[in-house]
Amino acid sequence: MTLVAGGKAYQKPTPDRVRRDLALFATSYVFGQRPSETLRLRKDDCIIVGPKIRIRFTIQKHELIKMLHDEAGKRQLLLNPVQLKSTKSKNINHKHVNYIISQIKSVKKRDGFLFPAINPLTKSCSKPLNVRSFYWLCNKYGVYPYLFRETLATKMSEGGVPVPTMMRHFNWSRAERAEHYSRKGGGVEEEWLSDQEF
């Protein structure tokens, strides 16, 4: 069904897209990983063990090899990309985990992407949703992409979680990042996901 809003035509979201979007926002909110880390998830990265859901995120870091200077005296860094695996777990009774579990069950292939880009012509789901599309979705619902991550970091900080623990959870290399959230405050409200009209 094609709808028109503000002079622009767009497709009304299908139930598959609504489920995917809810699960994507829930995963971002519950686990607090970067959008790129969340979008790369595959079904086999998610395991339900007893009362917990465990998700294995792939973290992209850059290791400094050496620092060079060009003729003009400008600094150039020679970096080596490194991929790390980081497993996070959450109790399946958490308020928003049901959205994630529903999406996991909907993915047919074991190694299929958890948040696929759904081609409207072929209905195929062979590629993951990209970061640009995630930003578009966030804009559509009136949030900015890192709000979910910042909300979790702020709640952890306000709850008294030690800085080293926050650094491990969010894969930060500097303590200043955790201290930033202890001063920041704010974030998305707990009820935001439940209140969205898709």
pLDDT at 50 over 50: yes
Asked if residue 65 belongs to a domain, the reply is: yes
Rounded Cα gap, residues 37 and 90, in angstroms? 17
Would 2 be classed as within a structural domain?
Answer: no
Domain contains 66: yes
Q: What token pair was written down for 196?
A: 């969205």
Per-residue pLDDT, 1:
40
Interval 169-193: pLDDT, tens: 888 878 887 777 766 655 555 555 5
What is the helix (H) or strand (E) element at residue 100, kind and residue range?
helix 97-106
State how many domains the chain has. 1
In a domain, 29, yes or no: yes
CATH number of residue 142's parent domain: 1.10.443.10
pLDDT category at 114 given cuts 50, 70, 90 is: very high
Q: Which residue has the tokens 């400008």?
A: 74
Whether 105 is in a domain gets the answer: yes
Q: Which helix or strand (DSSP H or E) is residue 46 part of?
A: strand 46-49
At 50, is the secondary structure helix, strand, or coil? coil
Domain extent for 55: 10-195
Residue 1 is assigned to a structural domain of this protein: no
Count of C-beta atoms within a 10 Å radius of residue 189: 9
Instruction: Write out the H or E segment, with its range, that includes residue 66.
Output: strand 52-69
